[in-house]
Amino acid sequence: MTIKPFSCSHCGKCCKDISKKNIHLPLPAPMVNADSSAVKYPVHDRGLMVNALEREDIIKLAKKHSIKIRFFPLLGYFSKKFKAIFTVTYILVCDDCPFYISDKCIIYKQRPLTCRSYPIILNPQGVLPPVTGDKRCPSSTVFSHIPDYSSTQMKLPNYYKFVYALLEDNYVAALKWYYFLELVKKEFERIEKKKLILWENFTLTYQKQYKKFQIVDLFSYLRKHDHYSEKKYQKLKDGFHSMQINKLFTKLKIKLSVPSPREIRKKGLENLLAS
């Protein structure tokens, strides 16, 4: 049996009726606890997930094309030191994507990671195994070939190679989303000078305490208060966006080097499944 890699048909279905499909969002439940630094805001709107490194560029693109957009904070870190909640991911609130005009994405080369990774389903905790796909995508049949990692004897390096060979740049984008969350956590720990605890259950009582703190964009705040120069920030952005899969594996502390998807497929995907 020949296993064909994912190929986008450019049908535009993933760009429409986003509020109804809820395709790029985790479950909309407010989560955090009294011992935690991470905040997941109650989600009242639907749209596309966007990270803090992408938000500013999307605002500029919207102004360039005279498009009105609105963001809603999704995930942030609570800082007693700065008396602020630093937002790191957002929802670009929309039903149909505002940049999908006349059956075409007008920012295709600058589209956010949530679009680049689709139909991989993203969530705030990343995409390291298992990898799941949105079945509403016409080309999502490729996910039927990806084994359930929890029930397979497949070795982890081979699992990564198999998924990369099938999903190519979409998988790289999904890994970048996961790496971004690791990156901001590391940066926040550096300025906060303490170890963070991941978010868990949230209580209404504790939610009221957060109202005393300002909600700010993490990187905007760091640049404004001289924790980041514009040059350092741009270098961080450029390095993040240009990062390829083997460097991502290194940054994520995964000891693995993979060849190109074509080379992996040439050696036979069936051999990876059998190992």
What pTM did the predictor assign? 0.84
Q: How far apart are CA 249 and CA 259, in angstroms?
A: 13
Q: Which DSSP helix (H) or strand (E) runs through 56? A: helix 52-64
Distances in whole angstroms, Cα of residue 46 to Cα of each of 60, 93, 111, 231: 21, 6, 18, 34
Each residue's pLDDT tens digit, 195-213: 654 443 333 444 555 566 6
In a domain, 197, yes or no: yes
In a domain, 216, yes or no: yes
Each residue's pLDDT tens digit, 133-178: 888 888 888 988 888 777 677 788 888 899 999 999 999 999 999 8
Q: How far apart are CA 54 and CA 135, in angstroms?
A: 26
CB atoms within 10 A of CB 161: 23
**45, 118, 67, 89: which is closest to 181 by C-alpha?**
89
- State the residue range of the domain holding 17: 13-273
| Residue in this structure with the two tokens 């805001």, named with its chain if needed | 41
CB atoms within 10 A of CB 53: 21
Total domains present in the chain? 1
The pLDDT assigned to 97 comes to 92
The answer to whether 113 and 57 have CB atoms below 8 angstroms apart is: no
In a domain, 5, yes or no: no
In a domain, 114, yes or no: yes
